Amino acid sequence: MTQKPISLGTTQDPAREARRAQPLARPFLFVVLHCDQPALGGARYCLSQIDVVHIGRGPERVASRVREGGARRLELRLPDVAISKAHARLVRSGDGWAFEDAGSRNGSFVNDSRVRKVALEDGDFIELGNVILRYRAGLPSSPASAADLDLQSPEVGALSTLVPPLADDLDVLTRIARAPIPVLLLGESGTGKEVLAAGVHALSGRTGPLVAVNCGALTASLLESQLFGHVKGAFTGAIRDEPGYVRRANGGTLFLDEVGDLPMPAQAALLRVLEVSEVVPVGGTSPIKVDLRVVAATHKPLDRMAIRGEFRVDLQARLSGHRHMLAPLRDRIEDMGILVRELLRRSKVPGAPELGFTVEAGKLLVQQRWPLNIRELSQTLGVAAALADGPLIESAHLESTHLLEVRHDSVAPPESEEEGGKLRGRIVALLEKHRGSVSGVARDMGKSRIQIHRWVQRFSINIDAYRARS
């Protein structure tokens, strides 16, 4: 008789555990920006357990979930005199959502078009009074990041976001920050790596300082001296002992910004320091112990650089204890409210923190692609704040920077009537193909959804006619 092998596994179902760990795609409604009150920040509300959302005016921004009979309702109140007491509602419609104006005094707008009732698509912007909201049809989210979140408090810190998948990544980084593990921050320039590094240091509990090093600005001839220090008389001009960046960071965090620009000789020396936790200053003979936590950042492709021999593989492995990818600003427009509030608060322009925006200016902020990310947004807000001669930043103040070119390029009319006819025909054909889906048209044309809506409005195309045929 053959005996069955004894199972040494657990009673848990691996497939079930994997499903639990997998983020689910859930619908969300975001309060992106209170144009005239940017200090209110933003908020998100998960719609997966809701049947209808009622939106109206209230003394403060507050949301409450109510169940009446079998209906699950979200009551959202927004502090804005331009919003009616009962202004609008979102109603679940099959697997999607529809927007309905509730007879408001000032009307409702979806993607710049005044509407009474319309089916919502992923990424649609909703304008009610001075408030810009956004509907997202399905964002990957863990149970924690699917919870409602209101970031009215200005003390939200660097490791905060309203976007669920980014919040899940930041939650992991928050836990890593408390452990003595090196962190490598990756992403495009201007996405806020230095701010995030400061957040990691603040959470680490380390008592020493955060010392930032711009690796691309190190002088080749004095590189080792700048990093590791030197003793008096080590070379001409060394008139006193200098500790260098590494020893200054003892007990704290060494932030290696643009580490991909670090020259090869320095990479080898730095690797040695990280492996043995000690440094020998230039001209010195005895190693000095150091206690470091390293956070590195780069916008360069370190993996490819290591394959090409442009970056040491062993140093890359040493720095990559935990990798965190920062999202570009265009992928986190839902955070515009909390970013604008923080950037205005930090601005050196007098009176900037008290400024608000006209609705047109607010719409410019959320409709841009921001190729240079948060750094570009910061510069734009600084210029606009300096130009504002009243309590509100206007679209003209924003357009005084590069935005004017971007906006005009995106809506420039065709050069001739014939080209306009061809463009209209192409849009109509794609609307037929995608059954009225603006997202599908935008994908095929390689344009933003906002741009497609502008063309639809310009050519007087009735999108609902194509949706009705589906």
Residue-wise DSSP of 293-358: EEEEEESS-HHHHHHTTSS-HHHHHHH-SEEEEPPPGGG-GGGHHHHHHHHHHH--STTGGG-EE-
Buried/exposed 233-242: b ≥16 CB within 10 Å, e otherwise: ebeeebeeeb
Domain's final residue, options 151, 182, 213: 151
Note whether 319 and 221 are same-domain residues: yes
Q: Is 404 within 8 Å of 368 (Cβ atoms)?
A: no
Note whether 198 and 72 are same-domain residues: no
Q: Tell me, what DSSP letter sits at residue 2?
A: P
Domain's final residue, options 295, 325, 355: 325
Q: How many other CB atoms are there within 10 angstroms of residue 350's CB atom?
A: 9
Note whether 303 and 261 are same-domain residues: yes
Q: How many other CB atoms are there within 10 angstroms of residue 92's CB atom?
A: 16
Note whether 171 and 312 are same-domain residues: yes
Structure tokens at 95: 């697997």
CA distance 253 to 447: 42
Q: How far is CA 154 from the centre of its chain?
A: 17
CATH number, residue 72: 2.60.200.20
Note whether 171 and 306 are same-domain residues: yes
Domain's final residue, options 283, 309, 325: 325
Q: Tell me, what DSSP letter sits at residue 86?
A: T
Tokens 């310009």, located at residue: 458
Report which of residues 420 and 103 the model is more confident about.
Answer: 103
Q: Is 193 within 8 Å of 232 (Cβ atoms)?
A: no
Note whether 179 and 320 are same-domain residues: yes
The residue-averaged pLDDT of 245-273 equals 92
Number of domains in the chain: 3
Note whether 179 and 304 are same-domain residues: yes
Note whether 206 and 110 are same-domain residues: no
**Residue 406: pLDDT band by 50, 70, 90 thresholds?**
very low
Note whether 115 and 63 are same-domain residues: yes
Report which of residues 176 and 95 the model is more confident about.
Answer: 176
Q: Is the dihedral of CA 332, 28, 458, 435 positive or negative?
A: positive
Note whether 28 and 65 are same-domain residues: yes
CA distance 128 to 87: 8
pLDDT at 1 over 70: no
Residue 213 falls inside a structural domain: yes
- Between the alpha carbon of residue 335 and those of residues 139, 191, 269, 470, the distances in Å are 14, 13, 40, 34
Residue 239 falls inside a structural domain: yes
The residue-averaged pLDDT of 301-307 equals 93
**Residue 108: pLDDT band by 50, 70, 90 thresholds?**
very high
Residue 5 falls inside a structural domain: no
Residue 331 falls inside a structural domain: no
Note whether 230 and 266 are same-domain residues: yes
Looking at residue 403, its pLDDT comes to 52
Residue 141 falls inside a structural domain: yes
For 225, phi then psi, to 5°, come to -65, -40
Note whether 319 and 429 are same-domain residues: no
To which H or E segment does residue 156 belong? none
**Residue 440: pLDDT band by 50, 70, 90 thresholds?**
confident
Residue 45 falls inside a structural domain: yes
The percentage of the chain sitting over the pLDDT mark of 90, rounded to a whole number, equals: 64
Report which of residues 18 and 92 the model is more confident about.
Answer: 92
CATH number, residue 257: 3.40.50.300
Q: Is the dihedral of CA 431, 435, 439, 443 positive or negative?
A: negative
Domain of 432 in residue numbering reads as: 417-466
Looking at residue 4, its pLDDT comes to 39
Q: Of 29-33, 287-291, 435-439, which gets the smallest average pLDDT?
A: 435-439
pLDDT at 470 over 90: no
The residue-averaged pLDDT of 93-109 equals 95
Residue 307 falls inside a structural domain: yes
| Average pLDDT across the chain, whole number | 87
Q: How many other CB atoms are there within 10 angstroms of residue 254's CB atom?
A: 29
Q: Of 1-15, 96-110, 150-164, which gets the smallest average pLDDT?
A: 1-15
**Residue 19: pLDDT band by 50, 70, 90 thresholds?**
very low
Looking at residue 357, its pLDDT comes to 98
CA distance 192 to 118: 37
Residue 335 falls inside a structural domain: no
